[in-house]
Amino acid sequence: MTRSFTDRLFGGVCGGLGAVMHISAWWFRAAFLILGVVTSGTFIALYLLLWWIIPQESLVDKRRARPERLLMVILLIIATLIGWLAAANGSFRAESGQDLFWPIIALILAVVFFLKQVRS
């Protein structure tokens, strides 16, 4: 799976998902938007993460299909949903009562961004 170069509004994640699953990318865009609003931005953070870790489609160099990337995306979506549900139930609270969900999300995004910068 790659991010779409031609069917994109921001990063091409939804266009890439639509191409792999043979569904209109607008369904994925609507799903990310609705889930982003419902989960107070958790799925927007997931979109940003996917934007960083899924490589861009090349119009010149055709890469072979990599089904493990699609599996990784599906697992990340499930993990994000489970994490958000756990945070909504108060599972990410410190002993002092402070919510730790967003600091954990920020830490994950920072580590992924750092590793992406180191690799390139």
Q: What pLDDT score does 60 carry?
A: 78
Taking the CA of residue 12 as centre, how many other CA atoms within 13 Å lie in the half-sphere pointing to its CB?
17
The predicted-structure confidence for 78-91, as pLDDT tens digits, reads as follows 999 999 999 999 99
How many independent structural domains does the chain possess? Answer: 1
In a domain, 5, yes or no: no
In a domain, 86, yes or no: yes
Q: Is the pLDDT of residue 63 over 70?
A: no
Range of the domain at 101: 13-119
- Look up the pTM and report it: 0.85
